[in-house]
Chains A and B, each alone.
Chain A
């Protein structure tokens, strides 16, 4: 019940295209859903986060779509750029504290 399932495992997108990464969770106690971006040799960095009281959140080229009834959420990267090539992790948290359950990660490559 603590798992967060992320797909696809890897993704290749043309420059200017839309990258879409999906995540699904089971634990209905989760109420915080962040996405992290990680470059090689670096720690993960928060990209964007959403709480279940909204269905969509947009920050620049990055959008989270959230479907509470389906227990799914996704990251859309519009106008993908080679600099977006990184590993992306979805995560979920709930209750007190900063414990996050992470998805397995998606390796995104944007071809120029």
Chain B
């Protein structure tokens, strides 16, 4: 069974640009969560989608947005990039939305110059 796939794995952007990251969950999983990982702030919850609906949202500015498609694949978008957005963005999938095991992908490492 294929794991969680995140693309791209690495990307470099400049301040002011926008970026879209993609996540394909494990087949059959309907919940996708996004987390930001930085050395300073650790792992922080961005948002969770279940059946194309946002279920939870973390404490991030509106520049961070996401969506989920009918096939459970998810994308997150960061607009007007800032230097502080440099981070590893992790996607996690789960069968449902009630504390089943979260399966994380290997992440998309974003560097903002």
> Which residues of A are in contact with B by a Cβ distance under 8 Å?
32, 34, 36, 41-46, 49, 89, 91, 93, 96-105
Interface size on B, as a range, is 20 to 34
> Which residues of B are in contact with A by a Cβ distance under 8 Å?
4, 31, 33, 35, 42-45, 48, 50, 55-56, 58, 90, 92, 94, 97-107
Determine the distance from Cα of A81 to Cα of B53 in the docked complex, in whole angstroms: 43
A-B contact count (CB 8 A): 62
| B98, closest chain A residue (CB) | A96
Q: Report whether B99 and A93 are in contact in the complex, using a CB–CB cutoff of 8 Å.
A: yes
Instruction: List, in ascending order, chain A residues with CB within 8 A of B104's CB.
Output: 36, 43-45
Q: Report whether A104 and B55 are in contact in the complex, using a CB–CB cutoff of 8 Å.
A: no
Instruction: List, in ascending order, chain A residues with CB within 8 A of B99's CB.
Output: 32, 93, 98
Return A44 CB to nearest CB of chain B, in Å. Answer: 5
Q: Report whether B90 and A43 are in contact in the complex, using a CB–CB cutoff of 8 Å.
A: yes
Instruction: List, in ascending order, chain A residues with CB within 8 A of B55's CB.
Output: 96-98
Given contacts A41-B106, A42-B106, A93-B99, contact A98 B43 (CB under 8 A): no
Instruction: List, in ascending order, chain A residues with CB within 8 A of B97's CB.
Output: 96-98
Q: Report whether B4 and A99 are in contact in the complex, using a CB–CB cutoff of 8 Å.
A: no
Q: Report whether A98 and B33 are in contact in the complex, using a CB–CB cutoff of 8 Å.
A: yes
